[in-house]
Amino acid sequence: SKFGYSINELMVDSLTEDIFKNTFSYYGEKSIILLEDIDSIESSKNRNNKNDTKPDTIGISGLLNSIDGVATPENIIIVATTNHIDKLDPALIRDGRFDMKIEMGYMTKEMVQDYLSNAFNDNVEISDNLRTDLTPAIIQKMVLDHNTLKEIINKITLKRK
């Protein structure tokens, strides 16, 4: 990356305690660890009440010990994503655990223009008649599905009646 950090994505719903404990030593300092869908980790209370939970998958306690325990190396940036912040264990999102919380809501016209301009290496202009349900994930999928710029603009523009 631009700042000399490696970027590493982890799918937490398939992590075991042992794998996660070794993650930081494996990637080392100057790493960005992306924890996708952190809401898939169950709190200890929920894990004890379910029979279908795999006993070796990581829980909140193991995650917390790994991300801010005494053996956690310095110079690691942890980014976590969730679609359900309301379902996260309060211990995970308390003040001081994660330094910032950023809600990725719907995109403005300017955000869509910037995204498409970067994706297509062109100065993209779009009309004000834009759909209001556009998220970065929706636009990213359109680009990754190899839609042309014209196709994307047609898909994101409201049709006039």
User: In one letter, which amino acid is 141?
Assistant: K
What confidence score (pLDDT) does residue 45 get?
45
What confidence score (pLDDT) does residue 119 get?
93
pTM of the model: 0.65
- Specify the higher pLDDT residue, 82 or 43: 82
- Specify the higher pLDDT residue, 142 or 18: 142
Report d(CA 127, CA 132) in Å as an integer.
13
Average pLDDT of the segment spanning 56-60: 76
What confidence score (pLDDT) does residue 56 get?
67
Tens digit of each residue's pLDDT (9 = 90 or more) over 9-52: 887 777 777 777 777 777 777 888 888 888 887 654 454 444 45
What confidence score (pLDDT) does residue 25 get?
72
What confidence score (pLDDT) does residue 138 get?
92
Average pLDDT of the segment spanning 47-70: 66
- Rounded to a whole number, what is the distance in angstroms from the first to the last CA of the chain? 46
Residue 128 per-residue DSSP state? S
| Most confidently predicted of 56-65, 74-83, 144-153 | 144-153
The DSSP bridge partners found for residue 31 are: 6, 76
Tens digit of each residue's pLDDT (9 = 90 or more) over 104-136: 889 999 999 999 999 999 999 998 899 999 999
The CA-CA-CA angle for residues 91, 93, 99, to 5°, reads 130
Token code pair at residue 152: 């994307």
- Specify the higher pLDDT residue, 3 or 130: 130
Residue 72 per-residue DSSP state? P
